[in-house]
Amino acid sequence: MTKKTLAVVCGGGGFIGGHLVAHLRATGQYRVRSVDIKPASQWFQRFDDVDNLVLDLGRRDAATIAVEGAAVVYNLAADMGGMGFIENNKALCMLSVLINTHLLMAAKDAGVKKFFYASSACVYNAGKQLVTDNPGLAEGDAYPAQPEDGYGWEKLFSERMCRHFYEDFGLDVRVARFHNVYGPNGTYDGGREKAPAAISRKVQEAVRTNRLAIDIWGDGEQTRSFTYIDDCIEGIERLMRSDVREPINLGSSEMVSINQLVSIVEGIAGVTLTRSYDLSAPKGVRGRNSDNTLIRQLLDWEPSTSLRDGLARTYQWIGAELDAGAAGRPRVAA
C-alpha cells in the first residue's frame, strides 16, 4: 500500500470511525475518504485534508460512490447505540443490513483489495450469558445462533455475508467482534451512549450540581468488559495486516460489574454517590466477557489499556465537553 492507495472509512463521522480516520490520516500511508450519513457539522472528528462525503449507505448508488477508487474499505457504519437504544429500536438496527449488503456489492464491483466489517459481541448466544460470572465468550459461542434480538441478528447475518463474498467472489474480508468500545470523542448523552460514557457523564453532573446521587440501570451486578478506543484501533490495524478471515474477538478481558464500573469513576472523581437502581430499565444480558485466546494465538496481541486508565481519559474529556457547553461553545453532537 502506498500514499496513492485510497482507504474508505464508512461511518467515519461516528465514534470509532472518527478515531480510525484520525489514525489512518496520521500514518500517512493512505489517501483517506470518510463517509457518514450525518451532516458534517455533527461528525465527531472531521479533517479538511480528508475526502469527506455525506451519503446514505443504505442506498446502493451511495455505496458505489463511497468505494469508487478504493483499495481498502472499513465498514463501521450502522444505526446503533447503547443498550437503551438497541433494545427499543430493533427494526432500525436490522436495517443496517442494507449498508453492509450494498458496500460488499460495491466493493466487489470496484475491485477492492481488503474489506473490514465491524461486528459485535451481541452476536453471541444469549444462553451463554445468563450468569454474572461469565468465563469469556469464545468465537465459537456464536453458534447455535441466539444473538441479541435485532442488532445481534443483523451483525451475525452480515458476518456470514462477508464470509460468502470471500468464498464466492474472492473479496478479502476481515471481521472483528467489538466488545463495548469507549473513550473520548464519542456519544455521552442523548440516548445512544454506552455505559462508560453514561456513567462518566452522570458522575460529572452529580459533582457539578452537588447532587451526589446516581441512577443505575438494573441491579448493577450485570457484568461486562470494556475496550478502550486506542486498543480497538490498534486491533483493527493488526487484523487488517494479518491473513485472519474468520471473525475474531476484539475486546478487553477485564470484566467488571456495573457497580464496579461506577466505583472506578467515583474514585476518579473523588466522590461517593448514593445509588438508586432502575430495575425496569434496559440492561441486556446478565454477563458478557471477551475470551482472548484466539486473538493472542493469531495476532500475538490483545487489548491492554486498563479500565481505570481509559475511564480517567474519558471522564476528563466529557468534563471538558460539559465545560464547553456551559460556556456556550459548540459541543460534539450526540
40 part of a folded domain: yes
What's the pLDDT score for residue 325? 85
Kindly tell me the sign of the dihedral angle through the C-alpha atoms of 190, 195, 199, 201: negative
331 part of a folded domain: no
What's the pLDDT score for residue 283? 86
Percent of the chain with pLDDT over 90: 91
CA distances to 203, 226, 249 from 299, in Å: 37, 20, 11
What's the pLDDT score for residue 4? 79
158 part of a folded domain: yes
Check whether the bond before 144 is cis (ω within 30° of 0): yes
Write the pLDDT tens digit of every residue in 29-79.
999 999 999 999 999 999 999 999 999 999 999 999 999 999 999 999 999
- Comparing CA positions, the residue from 230, 202, 233 lying closest to residue 306 is 230
Tell me the three cell numbers of residue 303. Answer: 487489548
Percent of the chain with pLDDT over 70: 97
Q: Is the pLDDT of residue 333 over 60?
A: no
Q: Is the pLDDT of residue 1 over 80?
A: no
Rounded to 10 degrees, the C-alpha dihedral 150/154/157/160 comes to -140
The active-site residue out of 74, 124, 151, 182 is 151
Q: Is the pLDDT of residue 266 over 70?
A: yes
178 part of a folded domain: yes
168 burial type by CB count under 10 A (0-12 exposed, 13-18 middle, 19+ buried): exposed
What's the pLDDT score for residue 329? 63
Q: What is the mean pLDDT of the chain?
A: 95
151 is catalytic: yes
Write the pLDDT tens digit of every residue in 309-330.
999 999 999 999 999 987 766 5
- Comparing CA positions, the residue from 293, 253, 255, 249 lying closest to residue 119 is 249
Write the pLDDT tens digit of every residue in 231-260.
999 999 999 999 999 999 999 999 999 999
238 part of a folded domain: yes
Kindly tell me the sign of the dihedral angle through the C-alpha atoms of 124, 185, 238, 30: positive
Number of Cβ atoms within 10 Å of the Cβ of 138? 15
275 part of a folded domain: no
Give the domain extent around 59. 6-182+227-250
- Strand 31-36 to 114-120 pairing: unpaired
Query: What is the pLDDT averaged over residues 101-128?
Result: 98
What's the pLDDT score for residue 170? 98
Domain total in the chain: 1
The CATH number linked to 21 is 3.40.50.720
